[in-house]
């Protein structure tokens, strides 16, 4: 019997939005850093055993080295492991952040970047985490292609970054994620990123969510992240949490 598991799911942080070193837009850089700090502080308060971060930690591969090192140190300081993949903004193209900075090196960080998909067996927990590294955001890239068979006796989790296409077969969209791919994955929970609005796309026995983004998509909304409870014999319990940090409060 698998013990209960509490997961934090957050995505699309977009550190260094519109900032590429120098003195330009320092306030905006610090605002996004502040949101990330608020997010991590809030998540720690829920005492999860694992955090899933499915892409776009950075707004582009031009994020400053200072911000990249700062973010890695913040994640490595958490009292629980973090599993993460790249997104379309920080994808594994030429000059990618994740080829210049090793996010797999700090203890507790698990960066999954294999283009054909990779499953990690976490030593800290009875958990397998699978994900695929995005090299380019285009229709031929399928975030949930070739998912492995679930391993009995462990929680089987997935990470994906792309566009949910439902059952319509909209394969012309870049990085499509279909309803049948979610249902057939066999994951206990699938943490998705890319949509900046919260979206439940669960299929069959697989709980699957886009967590939204900690920075709200419009001034009249709040940022979101999720806390997910997994327990044997029942569907995932997903609780929506909000961050309320206005841009006017940044300086």
Which residues are CB-neighbours of 247 under 8 A, at least 6 positions away? 31
Interval 19-29 mean pLDDT? 81
pLDDT tens digits, 192-246: 999 999 999 999 999 999 999 999 887 778 999 999 999 999 999 999 999 976 5
Say how many C-beta atoms besides its own lie within 10 A of residue 180's C-beta: 13
> Which pLDDT value is given to residue 169?
66
> Which pLDDT value is given to residue 170?
66
The distance in angstroms from the start CA to the end CA of the chain is 50
Q: Number of structural domains, the chain? A: 1
Task: Report the C-alpha gap between 51 and 144 in whole angstroms.
Answer: 20
> Which pLDDT value is given to residue 140?
84
> Which pLDDT value is given to residue 94?
85
Q: What is the DSSP string of 110-164?
A: EE---TT-EEEEETTTTEEEEE---S--STT--TTTTPPPPPTTSEEEEEEESEE
Q: What is the mean pLDDT of the chain?
A: 92
Interval 170-186 mean pLDDT? 87
Interval 24-53 mean pLDDT? 95
Specify the pTM: 0.94
Domain holding 45, by residue range, is 5-249
The torsion defined by the Cα of 142, 139, 134 and 80, in degrees rounded to 10, comes to -50
* Contact predicate 159/120, CB 8 Å: no
Strands 50-54 and 127-131: unpaired
Interval 170-182 mean pLDDT? 85
Interval 70-81 mean pLDDT? 97
Rg value, the chain, Cα: 17
Task: Report the C-alpha gap between 35 and 215 in whole angstroms.
Answer: 7
The pLDDT of residue 248 is above 70 = no
> Which pLDDT value is given to residue 202?
97
Binning pLDDT at 50, 70 and 90, where does residue 43 land? very high
Which CATH number belongs to the domain containing residue 98 in this structure?
3.60.21.10
The pLDDT of residue 249 is above 50 = no
Which one has a higher pLDDT value, 8 or 22?
A: 8
């Amino acid at each position: 019997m698998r013990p209960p598991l509490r997961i934090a799911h957050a995505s699309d942080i977009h550190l260094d939005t519109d900032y590429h070193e120098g003195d330009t837009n320092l306030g905006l850089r610090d605002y996004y850093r502040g949101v990330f700090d608020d997010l991590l502080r809030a998540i720690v308060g829920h005492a999860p055993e694992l955090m899933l971060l499915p892409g776009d930690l950075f707004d582009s591969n031009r994020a400053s080295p200072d911000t990249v090192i700062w973010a890695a140190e913040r994640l490595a300081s958490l009292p629980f492991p973090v599993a993460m993949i790249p997104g379309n903004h920080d994808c594994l193209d030429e000059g990618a952040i994740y080829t210049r900075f090793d996010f797999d090196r700090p203890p507790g960080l698990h960066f999954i970047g294999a283009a054909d998909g990779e499953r990690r067996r976490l030593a800290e927990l009875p958990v397998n985490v699978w994900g695929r590294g995005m090299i380019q955001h285009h229709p031929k890239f399928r975030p949930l292609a070739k998912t492995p068979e679930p391993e009995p006796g462990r929680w089987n989790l997935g990470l994906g970054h792309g566009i949910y296409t439902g059952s319509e077969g909209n394969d012309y969209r870049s990085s499509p994620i279909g309803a049948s791919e979610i249902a057939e994955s066999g994951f206990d929970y699938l943490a998705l990123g890319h949509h900046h609005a919260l979206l439940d796309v669960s299929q069959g026995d697989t709980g699957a969510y886009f967590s939204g983004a900690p920075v709200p998509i419009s001034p009249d909304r709040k940022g979101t992240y999720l806390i997910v409870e997994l327990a044997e014999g029942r569907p995932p319990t997903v609780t929506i949490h909000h961050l309320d940090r206005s841009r006017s409060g940044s300086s």
